[in-house]
Amino acid sequence: QKEVEQDPGPLSVPEGAIVSLNCTYSNSAFQYFMWYRQYSRKGPELLMYTYSSGNKEDGRFTAQVDKSSKYISLFIRDSQPSDSATYLCASKGAGAGSYQLTFGKGTKLSVIP
């Protein structure tokens, strides 16, 4: 079982819709959780970063982590065509030797005008 599972989509929504993107993870040692956005033929860019359980909001984006169920979510309110991209979730342990992130495979989102 891969440590971070993510539905690849594709997901297509009308402009203005609320988008919910989700991941599950299996490693209880993960403490840090990130969402990256990747436009076509570009490198991933960090979108949201959270530590442990809880919510974090940044403009139209909300990241949510539920460590009890090992569930990671990203919500996009009032979605825009410019939000069309692939979204990658990632998780990381907290130890000094935890160099790496474990990534989901990404969900491709299209927001239709």
Q: How many residues bind another protein (CB under 8 A)?
A: 28
Among 43, 59, 69, 113, binds another protein (CB under 8 A): 43
In the numeric block, which tokens belong to residue 106?
Answer: 């990404």
Q: Is 99 in the site for another protein (CB under 8 A)?
A: yes
Cβ 39 to another protein, closest distance in Å?
Answer: 10
Question: Reduced to 3 states, what is the DSSP secondary structure of residue 112?
Answer: strand
Burial environment of residue 112 by CB neighbours within 10 A (0 to 12, 13 to 18, 19 or more): exposed
**Residues ≥6 apart with Cβ < 8 Å to 105:** 6, 8, 88
What's the min distance (Å) between Cβ of 104 and another protein? 7
Is 45 an interacting residue with respect to another protein (CB under 8 A)? yes
Q: How far apart (Å, rounded) are the C-alpha atoms in residues 61 and 52?
A: 18
Here the tokens at position 73 are 């979510």
Applying CB under 8 A, does 92 fall inside the site for another protein? yes
Interface ranges with another protein (CB under 8 A): 8, 31-32, 34, 36, 41-46, 49, 51, 88, 90, 92-96, 98-101, 103-106
